[in-house]
């Protein structure tokens, strides 16, 4: 079984090479089929591997080659597939396949069609490396690789300068995180003498926590902040919406941004040993979740709302990790991948129908015009809002319940965040699909439902968004079918005896989220459905509302505090330190020698009398010197 | 056997001085390729045991203990490969410059450089090393001074005097060492066995440092470099940045650190600090440059500063990383300057703000530039990563704060490199760039060779460590006091 592992990342890489080098000459259909096959086959292979995991065989290894070897140091290029990586692999290749199919329809008229698929395949390759690596180095390969693909795909429409800037911002912010991760890896390497997960975690389990380990885990978390868009490194994600919508769905919602979650779950042994780090993660998580949700309330770009929603949901995931609820985090990661990919793709379908109009104030009444998109988007909205029995209901409730066990205050804050989710999602949904269309008749005439290549992936994801909860049902749904995911992840997370809440309390907690959804619905219904026009408050730009609409001016603050001073330093170094000081000294030395040599040249004038005079004076001086001392 | 590696380029060079006409460049390419072929042959029969192979020792000036002594260990082998792989590429890259006068001299000088460089890396005698060290300066000075751009005389004079000034200190250091050798010999092993007291070591250490620091160059001895790189003809810049500056790094590893190990304890920390300041300093300046060549010049100072910092920490990881990084930096910087040259030839300007949208009209160039740029940014699975990773690891193990500060350079490098790429390649085309022609077959070949090397070394760096690791460990062992 182990022998097939390398094929899983290799195939998308081959797809990247084929489409990258020959794609320009191939017909679009072929390009699309090659790229999709190179993701679908790995999906099947992952499924096979996943099915072969059992109690006796919890992990498969494959050693490919020695990457670096000198002295006592040896770093291997090797893979490991256990339940955690298999789960990620299935999400990546599964949703990846759907998004590839979708993209064939969505990107059909783009001149860079082949390039797009080459990049997508490269992304899948990198993401698979990230989750399949058996050590921190292979993880890091994938980690930076996905950042690079994200850069390439955000700036895919490179002629637009703003998009290019967004791409750069994403790469640089990710690099800040990457440095954190790298330093964390160094600390772990020095502490445990190895980078292989198995060795490190075995040792860590015996040695327990220490200050070094706390710093190391904090560094790792900085890496996660960058990749998974947490405060303070989140501002690249909303800008990343410049990329084509399938990219937003695949990279900036379902897979890449969850890399930080994966990494922390992978290193759960380390993080469990460092409660201080865990508290920090929980605080950052809830703060990000609330902050992004507030901003999301006031955005008018359909993709931006979803982007802030992603940041907010990722915050919840980190909160969950911070309280040690790894299973719940992975569960919500999976359901979130389903419904957020769905929402983005459905939004893409809207954009496709509306010729890339992204402002929801100019939409409305699309329900009749785009029925499949409407229904799938509705399902996605209900799932993210936690409508009972939809996937998000189970996964979000599990996080909330786990948080409640640790701290009721954090629970209350998380509930507020979840409530805001309902508000901005309903606002988005109702403004887009209900009411009447707010564009011109001419525009309305052109609106059409998207082709099957686009709608079929939507339908599949919609089904998953509804039933995704079955993977980890709560115990009160029946002991025998419950907690599938939890049992699956035991080899990675270990057996924990958790506090269990009484059913009554669980029901109250679940009820509270349902209640939030009802309140949000009642509020939004009056405000958005009943009226044809966009409510006045959504147009206002004063005071706190303006502050929120402008995203609290965080970008501007970063510019003033970091970017400008750095540029100023560069300027000063160049204009003053370099030219005037350092080179001044160098050139000054040159001039001095030049001047000095003039004196000597005056002495060496070739006139023999001068030399004789000099000799005589010298002799007299030596004589006097001897005489006097 | 190793001596053939010196004779081949020398003979071809002398031959080229004699002939005139268009065949010069073909003969030069042939000569450099034969040398490369011979180098690869040596690699194939070379005993990889960390000791010197192809050892040759001829008496030269017996009274002074000066011998013509050469040999090849793992570190030298990597340096020879760097030199002999890049030289044909550099020659090939000049094939389009038909307008250059005195072509045969130009190529003769390049091959003379190759001769000198191979000599520097193979010498196992102090004076021989010094002699080759100075020999390399002469052809490169002529190349820059004859075929350079504006202000070339002034700029190259500064370069010449500055580096020559540094070399004299090295000579002083060598003589001082020689005077303290038990058998009065300039042989590497004798010099290594020299009995020095603390201040003597400090003197040798500092004088070598001055010579090598100017050559590399590391902050604050770098001010000759940006002007020289910008003014020199592209091939001159490639020789300087791709190969010649590695003489300084090589010198630190082979000649400076092992000769006076105890001095490190006294001032080694300061060299690390200065090098790290240099990394940040050069990176910040690079961010503000609009001249593409000057920007690459400062990026080179930053990258070399990282190598310097790593070496001065005396950490095993850093030394291994430095070795592969020398090779990687050589490949990348040659590629980057070639891209700058391609753009400059077409647009007649180096100004980034006048560029834009080139990716649209020249997609092949955009892809190849991207790969080489990523190598320079040290993205994993490109050649820049293993070296930078190990260097940072070494510096971090030496001192976590130093590692963290040096580490910010990977962020800054992304900032300025992506800026170059964006300003030149992305955006809409303008008046200048709308008629930009994509790379020719020749340019495509040169850049492709470099790009393939970027990826191969990045994917499988052990290819290089297999050659160098043992030798580098040995040298490092000598550099650490017990």
**pLDDT tens across A153-182, in order?**
998 988 888 898 899 899 999 999 999 999
Whether the pLDDT of residue A497 is over 80: the answer is no
Tens-digit pLDDT profile for residues A245-292 = 999 999 988 899 999 999 999 999 999 999 999 999 999 999 999 999
Residue that has been written with the tokens 């490199």 in this structure: B417
Task: Give dist(CA A116, CA A245) in Å, integer.
Answer: 12
Contact B462 A69 (CB under 8 A): yes
pLDDT, position A530: 64
Distance from CA of A183 to the nearest CA of B (A): 7
Query: Does the beta-carbon distance from A70 to B386 stay under 8 Å?
Result: no
- pLDDT > 90? residue A566: no
Distance from CA of A78 to the nearest CA of B (A): 13
**Which residues on A lie below 8 Å from B472 (Cβ)?**
70
Name the token pair of A425: 């999602």
pLDDT at B452: 96
Residue that the structure tokens 């030496």 belong to: B398
ipTM, 2 dp: 0.92
B458 pLDDT band (50/70/90 cuts)?
very high
Which two tokens mark A86?
Answer: 């298999």
In whole angstroms, give the CA distance from residue A461 to residue A315: 23
What's the pLDDT tens digit per position in B126-143? 999 999 999 999 999 999
DSSP reduced 3-state for A539 = coil
The 10 Å CB-count burial string (b at 16+, else e) for A275-311 is eebbebbbebbbbbbbbbbbbbbbbbbbbbbbbbbbb
Determine the pLDDT at residue A531.
66
Q: Looking at the 3D structure of chain B, how many domains does it have? A: 1
Report the gap between the CA of A139 and the closest CA in chain B (Å): 10
Encode pLDDT of B253-311 as tens digits. 999 998 888 888 888 889 999 999 999 999 999 998 999 999 999 999 999 999 999 99
More confident residue, A472 or B231: B231
Largest distance between two CA atoms of chain B: 70
Q: Counting runs of H as helices and runs of E as strands, what totals does chain A give?
A: 28, 2
Contact B247, B120 (CB under 8 A): yes
- Binary contact (B410, A73; C-beta < 8 A): no
- What's the confidence (pLDDT) of residue A540? 65
User: Which of the 8 DSSP states describes residue B95?
Assistant: T
B414–A175 CB contact, under 8 Å: yes
Calculate mean pLDDT across residues A306-319: 94
* pLDDT for the residue A564: 85
Quote the distance between the C-alpha of residue A582 and its chain's center.
43
Helix (H, G, I), strand (E, B) or coil at B96: coil
Report DSSP state, residue A135: B
The residue written with tokens 């440059």 in the block is B289
Burial class (CB in 10 A: 0-12, 13-18, 19+), A491: middle
Q: B99 falls in which pLDDT band (50, 70, 90)?
A: low
pLDDT in tens, B20-56: 777 888 999 999 999 999 999 999 998 777 678 888 9
Contact A176 B411 (CB under 8 A): yes
If one compares A408 and A505, the residue with the highest pLDDT of the two is A408
Backbone angles phi, psi at B72, to 5 degrees: -130, 115
Does the structure show a pLDDT above 70 at A536?
no
Residue A512: is its pLDDT beyond 80?
yes
Contact assignment for B316 to A577 by CB distance below 8 Å: no
Over the stretch A7-19, which tens digit does the pLDDT of each residue have?
A: 999 999 999 999 9
* Domain hosting residue B411, numbered range: 261-482
Residue B434, beta-bridge partner list: none
B397 to chain A: closest CA residue:
A190
pLDDT, average across residues B313-330: 94
Three-state DSSP class for residue B123: strand
Suggest the residue from A139, A186, A187, A563 to mutate for an interface test with chain B (most B CBs closer than 10 A): A186
Instruction: Tell me, yes or no, whether B132 lies in a domain.
Output: no
**Per residue, what are the HEC states of A495-511?**
CCCCCCCCHHHHHHHHH
Per-residue pLDDT, B334 = 96
B336 pLDDT exceeds 80? Answer: yes
In angstroms, the separation between the Cα of residue A288 and the nearest Cα of chain B is: 24
> What one-character DSSP code corresponds to residue A196?
B
Average pLDDT of the residues in A516-538 = 75
Helix (H) or strand (E) holding A77: strand A73-82
Give domain status of residue B481, yes or no.
Answer: yes
Mean pLDDT, chain A, rounded, equals 88
Chosen from B282, B284, B383, B461 to mutate, greatest number of chain A CBs within 10 A? B284
Q: How far apart are CA B198 and CA B210, in angstroms?
A: 18
- Residues with Cβ within 8 Å of residue B83, at least 6 apart in sequence: B114, B117, B118, B121, B243
CA distance B404 to chain A (A): 7
Chain A residues close to B469, C-beta within 8 Å: 69-71
How many Cβ atoms sit within 10 Å of the Cβ of residue A586? 19
Averaged pLDDT for residues B56-76 = 90
Binary contact (B285, A144; C-beta < 8 A): no
A70–B472 CB contact, under 8 Å:
yes
The model's pLDDT over B166-224, given as tens digits with 9 standing for 90+, comes to 999 999 999 999 999 888 889 988 888 888 888 888 999 999 999 999 999 998 899 89
State the pLDDT confidence band at A532, using cuts at 50, 70 and 90. Answer: low
In a domain, B351, yes or no: yes
Average pLDDT over chain B reads 91
A130, A144, A147, A569, best to mutate vs chain B, most B CBs in 10 Å: A144
> Is B311 a member of any domain?
yes
CB A134 within 8 A of CB A120: no
Flag if B396 and A183 touch (Cβ within 8 Å).
yes
Residue B250 has φ and ψ, to the nearest 5°, of -60, -45
Cβ A168–B461 below 8 Å, yes or no? no
Residue-wise pLDDT for A126-142, tens only, equals 999 999 999 999 999 99
Residue A550, φ and ψ in degrees, nearest 5: -90, 20
Enumerate the residues of chain B whose CB falls inside 8 A of the CB of residue A583: 223
Interchain pair A186, B472: CB under 8 A? no
**In this structure, what are the phi and psi dihedrals at residue A68, rounded to the nearest 5 degrees?**
-140, 135
Inter-helix orientation angle A259-266/A113-132, to 10°: 10
pLDDT score, position A533: 67
Which comes out higher in pLDDT, residue A72 or B397?
A: B397
Q: Coil, strand, or helix at residue B74?
A: helix
On chain A, the residues whose CB falls within 8 A of the CB of B400 are 183, 187
Does residue B297 form part of some domain?
Answer: yes
pLDDT-above-70 percentage for chain A: 97
Per-residue tokens: B245: 């500056």
Q: Are B192 and B259 in contact (CB under 8 A)?
A: yes
Would you place residue B102 in the very low, low, confident or very high pLDDT band (cuts 50, 70, 90)? confident
Residue B57 lies in a domain: no
Q: B419: nearest CA in chain A? A: A168
Residue B451 inside a domain? The answer is yes
HSE-CB for A566 with a 13 A CA cutoff = 17
Cβ atoms B275, B308 nearer than 8 A: yes
- Return the structure tokens found at B222: 């770098």
Gap from A255 CA to chain B (nearest CA, Å)? 20
Whether A188 contacts A266, CB under 8 Å: no
Q: Is the pLDDT of residue B482 over 60?
A: no
**Mean of the pLDDT values across residues B453-457?**
95
The DSSP secondary-structure symbol of A525 reads I
Closest residue of chain A to B458, computed from CA coordinates: A67
A513 falls in which pLDDT band (50, 70, 90)?
confident
How far apart, in whole angstroms, are the C-alpha atoms of residue A388 and residue A396?
Answer: 11
- Per-residue pLDDT band for A500 (boundaries 50, 70, 90) equals confident
Q: What is the pLDDT of residues B197-212, one digit of tens each?
A: 888 889 999 999 999 9
The CA distance from A381 to B423, in Å, is: 40
Mean pLDDT of A308-328: 93
Q: Are B188 and B69 in contact (CB under 8 A)?
A: yes
């Amino acid at each position: 079984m182990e022998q097939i592992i390398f094929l899983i990342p290799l195939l998308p890489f081959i797809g990247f090479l084929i489409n990258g080098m020959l794609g320009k000459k191939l017909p679009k259909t072929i390009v699309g089929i090659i790229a999709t096959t190179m993701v679908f086959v790995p999906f099947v292979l992952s499924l096979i591997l996943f099915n072969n995991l059992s109690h006796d065989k919890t992990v498969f290894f494959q050693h490919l080659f020695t990457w670096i070897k000198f002295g006592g140091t040896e770093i291997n290029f090797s893979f490991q597939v256990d339940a955690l990586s298999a789960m990620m692999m299935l999400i990546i290749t599964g949703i990846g396949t759907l998004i590839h199919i979708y993209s064939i329809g969505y990107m059909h008229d783009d001149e860079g069609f082949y390039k797009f698929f080459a990049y997508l395949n490269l992304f899948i390759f990198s993401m698979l490396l990230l989750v399949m690596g058996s050590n921190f180095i292979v993880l890091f390969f994938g980690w930076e690789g996905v950042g690079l693909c994200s850069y390439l795909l955000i700036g895919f429409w490179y002629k637009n300068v703003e998009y290019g800037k967004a791409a750069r911002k994403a790469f640089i912010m990710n690099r800040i995180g990457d440095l954190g991760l790298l330093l964390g890896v160094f600390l772990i390497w020095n502490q445990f003498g190895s980078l292989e997960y198995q060795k490190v975690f075995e040792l860590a389990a015996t040695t327990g926590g220490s200050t070094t380990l706390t710093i190391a885990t904090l560094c790792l978390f900085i890496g996660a902040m960058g990749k998974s868009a947490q405060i303070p490194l989140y501002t690249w994600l909303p800008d990343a919406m410049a990329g084509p919508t399938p990219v937003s769905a695949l990279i900036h919602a379902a897979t890449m941004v969850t890399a930080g979650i994966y990494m922390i779950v992978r290193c759960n042994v380390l993080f469990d040993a460092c409660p201080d780090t865990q508290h920090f993660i929980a605080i950052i998580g809830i703060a990000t979740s609330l902050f992004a949700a507030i901003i999301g309330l006031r955005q008018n770009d359909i993709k931006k709302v979803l982007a802030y929603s992603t940041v907010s949901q990722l915050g919840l995931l980190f909160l969950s990790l911070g309280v040690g609820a790894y299973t719940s985090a992975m569960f919500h990661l999976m359901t979130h991948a389903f419904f957020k990919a769905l929402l983005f793709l459905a939004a893409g379908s809207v954009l496709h129908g509306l010729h890339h109009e992204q402002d929801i104030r100019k939409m409305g009444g699309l329900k009749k015009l785009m029925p499949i998109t409407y229904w799938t988007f509705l399902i996605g909205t209900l799932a993210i809002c936690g409508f009972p029995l939809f996937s998000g209901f189970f996964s979000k409730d599990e996080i909330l319940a786990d948080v409640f066990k640790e701290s009721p205050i954090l629970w209350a804050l998380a509930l507020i965040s979840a409530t805001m989710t309902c508000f901005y999602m309903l606002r988005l949904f109702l403004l887009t699909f209900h009411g009447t269309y707010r564009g011109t008749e001419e525009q309305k005439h052109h609106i059409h439902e998207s082709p099957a290549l686009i709608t079929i992936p939507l339908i599949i994801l919609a089904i998953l968004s509804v039933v995704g909860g079955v993977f980890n049902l709560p115990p009160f749904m029946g002991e025998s079918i419950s907690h599938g995911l939890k049992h699956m992840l035991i080899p990675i997370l270990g057996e924990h005896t958790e506090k269990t809440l009484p059913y009554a309390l669980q029901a109250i907690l679940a009820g509270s989220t349902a209640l939030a959804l009802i309140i949000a619905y009642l509020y939004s219904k009056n405000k958005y459905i009943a009226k044809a026009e966009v409510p006045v408050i959504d147009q206002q730009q004063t005071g706190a509302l303006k502050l929120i609409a402008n995203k609290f001016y965080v970008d501007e603050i970063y510019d003033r505090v970091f970017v400008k001073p750095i540029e100023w330093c560069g300027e000063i170094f160049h204009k003053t330190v370099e030219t005037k000081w350092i080179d001044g000294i160098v050139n000054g030395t040159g001039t001095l020698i030049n001047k000095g040599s003039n004196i000597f040249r005056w002495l060496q004038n070739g006139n023999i009398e001068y030399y004789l005079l000099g000799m005589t004076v010298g002799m007299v001086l030596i004589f006097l010197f001897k005489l006097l001392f | 056997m190793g001596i053939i590696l010196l004779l081949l380029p020398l003979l071809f060079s002398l031959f080229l001085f004699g002939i005139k006409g268009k065949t010069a460049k073909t003969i030069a390419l042939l000569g450099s390729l034969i040398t490369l072929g011979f180098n690869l042959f040596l690699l194939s029969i070379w005993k990889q045991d960390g000791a010197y192979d192809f050892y040759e020792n001829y008496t030269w000036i017996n009274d002074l203990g000066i011998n013509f002594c050469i040999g090849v260990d793992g570190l030298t082998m990597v340096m020879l490969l760097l030199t002999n792989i890049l030289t044909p590429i550099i020659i090939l890259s000049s094939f389009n410059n038909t307008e250059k006068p005195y072509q045969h001299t130009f190529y003769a000088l390049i091959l003379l450089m190759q001769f000198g460089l191979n000599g520097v890396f193979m010498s196992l005698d102090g004076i021989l090393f010094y002699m080759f060290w100075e020999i390399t300066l002469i052809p490169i000075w002529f190349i820059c001074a004859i075929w350079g751009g504006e202000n070339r005389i002034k700029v190259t004079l500064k370069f010449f005097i500055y580096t020559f000034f540094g070399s004299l200190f090295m000579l002083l250091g060598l003589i001082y060492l020689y005077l303290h050798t038990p058998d009065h010999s300039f042989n590497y092993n004798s010099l290594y066995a020299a009995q020095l007291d603390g201040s003597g070591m400090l003197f040798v250490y500092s004088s070598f440092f001055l010579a090598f620091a100017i050559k590399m160059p590391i902050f604050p001895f770098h001010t000759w470099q940006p002007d020289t790189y910008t003014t020199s003809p592209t091939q001159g810049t490639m020789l300087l940045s791709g190969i010649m500056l590695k003489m300084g790094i090589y010198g630190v590893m082979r000649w400076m650190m092992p000769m006076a190990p105890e001095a490190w304890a006294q001032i080694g920390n300061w060299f690390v600090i200065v090098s790290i300041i240099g990394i940040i300093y050069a990176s910040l300046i690079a961010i503000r440059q609009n001249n593409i060549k000057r920007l690459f010049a400062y990026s080179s100072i930053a990258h070399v500063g990282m190598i310097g910092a790593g070496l001065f920490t005396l950490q095993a990881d850093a030394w291994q990383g430095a070795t592969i990084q020398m090779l990687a930096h050589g490949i990348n910087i040659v590629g980057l300057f070639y891209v700058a040259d391609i753009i400059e030839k077409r647009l007649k300007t180096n100004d980034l703000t006048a560029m834009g949208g080139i990716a649209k009209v020249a997609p092949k160039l955009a892809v190849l530039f991207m790969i080489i740029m990523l190598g320079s940014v040290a993205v994993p699975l490109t050649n820049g990563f293993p070296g930078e990773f190990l260097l940072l690891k070494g510096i971090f193990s030496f001192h976590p704060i130093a590692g963290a500060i040096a580490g910010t350079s990977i962020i800054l490098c992304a900032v300025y490199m992506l800026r170059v790429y964006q300003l030149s390649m992305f955006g809409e085309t303008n008046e200048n760039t709308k008629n930009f022609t994509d790379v020719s077959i020749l340019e495509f070949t040169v850049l492709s060779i470099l790009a393939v090397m970027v990826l191969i070394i990045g994917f499988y760096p052990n290819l290089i460590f297999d050659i160098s690791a043992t030798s580098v460990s040995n040298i490092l062992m000598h550099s650490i006091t017990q």
